[in-house]
């Protein structure tokens, strides 16, 4: 088994491929942000501010990745590159943490069971710490005062923690959905719409990205950037897709409620245009209305 790839071994072609995917996903994220802004449902000011900050962080990350890739293409070698900031520090402390805690709050709202949420939250905090250590180790390596081995170990631990958190999200959301009847599924126009909704809403797309990134760390070829460059955008797109649930369920009558992602986590409200009985409950930031079985 090969040891995890360090940034020193990254191939230029892998950088370019990863950068293309990164900017492509940035375009998708921009459309999702536009859809979120155009959503007429009033959200908390803090909620919208958090989404705006997340988009700015993702935009800055894409610019920093482009700068470093252009430097590599033009054979300009700075004393310290910015991969420690754009690949490790910024995503782990903002996008990954925000997306994982969003699912923590969703699981609490939907299932009222805290064991899954506590586990996911714990791994989210640990991945944040590991991401900070990985960025610091990479910065020390560039300054020539540290060996590459601690950095490689930190990256492996960081990706492992994110992978476990993502898999826990998929399992918890799948169990929650399996115990409920989501009305938008039966009203959906086709199986592809339902499949896309399930894949995104359960965090399956995000988990797939972390599985790919974890596997590429042990590839004999220096292709790690292909996955590392897109993980942050996949997580952000997953978060915005959940917030913009109108696009997922295809029903204009369903809107996300004004539940503050940072506050008022337990509050669940009914949308005024949808009439349901006591067995229906708004999923707050999810697919639509859910009727729990016996």
Instruction: Please tell me the predicted confidence (pLDDT) of residue 86.
Output: 92
CA atoms of 235 and 233, how far apart (whole Å)? 5
Q: Does the model's pTM come out above 0.85? A: no
Would you list the DSSP string of 239-273?
A: HHHHH-HHHHH--TT-------SSS-TT-----TT
Is 109 inside a domain boundary? yes
The answer as to whether 281 is a domain residue is no
Rounded-to-integer distance, Cα 121 and Cα 151, Å: 24
CATH of the domain at 20: 1.20.1070
Return the C-alpha torsion angle 193, 198, 201, 202, nearest 10. -170
Q: Once rounded to an integer, what is the mean pLDDT over residues 107-124?
A: 88
Whether residue 195 is predicted with pLDDT greater than 70 in this model: the reply is yes
In a domain, residue 216? The reply is: yes
Instruction: For residue 294, tell me if it sits in a domain.
Output: no
Contacts of 229 (CB under 8 A, 6+ apart): 15, 18, 19, 21, 22, 65, 87
Contacts for 151-157: CB closer than 8 Å, 24+ residues apart: 151/6, 152/3, 152/4, 152/6, 153/4, 154/130, 155/4, 155/6, 155/88, 155/217, 156/4, 156/217, 157/130
Half-sphere exposure of 87 (CA within 13 A, CB side): 31
SS3 state at 78: coil
Min mean pLDDT across 109-118, 154-163, 173-182, 231-240 is at 173-182
- What confidence tens digit (pLDDT) does each residue in 136-156 have? 998 888 887 777 778 889 999
Residue 162 belongs to a domain: yes
Instruction: Identify whether 174 is part of a domain.
Output: yes
pLDDT in tens, 8-50: 446 778 888 999 999 999 999 999 999 888 876 656 678 888 8
- Looking at mean pLDDT, say which of 49-63, 67-81, 140-154, 192-206 comes out highest: 49-63
What is the pLDDT at residue 40?
Answer: 66
DSSP 75: T
Q: Find the mean pLDDT for residues 49-78.
A: 88
What is the β-pairing status of strands 180-182 and 289-292?
antiparallel
Among 166, 150, 3, which residue's Cα sits nearest to residue 97? 166
In total, how many domains does the chain have? 1
Q: Give domain status of residue 71, yes or no.
A: yes
- Determine, yes or no, domain membership for 208: yes
Name the residue range of residue 50's domain.
7-179+189-251
């Amino acid at each position: 088994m090969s040891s995890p790839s360090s940034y020193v071994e990254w191939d230029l072609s892998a950088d370019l491929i990863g950068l293309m995917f990164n900017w492509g996903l940035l375009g998708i994220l921009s459309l999702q942000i536009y859809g979120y802004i155009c959503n007429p449902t009033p959200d908390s000011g803090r909620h919208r501010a958090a989404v705006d900050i997340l988009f700015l962080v993702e935009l800055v990350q894409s610019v920093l990745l482009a700068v470093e890739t252009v430097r590599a293409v033009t054979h300009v070698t700075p004393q310290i590159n910015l991969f420690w900031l754009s690949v490790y520090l910024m995503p782990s402390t903002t996008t990954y943490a925000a997306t994982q805690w969003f699912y923590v709050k969703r699981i609490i709202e939907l299932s009222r069971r805290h064991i899954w949420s506590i586990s996911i939250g714990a791994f989210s905090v640990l991945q944040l710490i590991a991401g900070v250590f990985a960025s610091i180790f990479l910065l020390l390596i560039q300054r020539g005062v540290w060996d590459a081995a601690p950095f490689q170990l930190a990256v492996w631990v960081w990706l492992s923690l994110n992978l476990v958190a993502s898999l826990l999200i998929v399992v918890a959301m799948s169990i929650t959905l399996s115990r409920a009847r989501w009305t938008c599924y039966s009203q959906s126009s086709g199986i592809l719409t339902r499949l896309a909704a399930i894949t995104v809403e359960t965090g399956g797309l995000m988990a797939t990205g972390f599985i790919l990134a974890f596997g590429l760390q042990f590839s004999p070829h220096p292709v790690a950037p292909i996955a590392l460059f897109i993980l942050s955008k996949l997580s952000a797109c997953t978060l915005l897709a959940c917030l913009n649930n109108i696009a997922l369920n295809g029903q204009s009558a369903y809107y996300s409620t004004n539940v503050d992602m940072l506050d008022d986590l337990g509050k669940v409200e009914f949308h005024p245009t949808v009439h349901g009985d006591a067995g229906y409950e708004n999923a707050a930031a999810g697919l639509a209305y859910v009727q729990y079985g016996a």
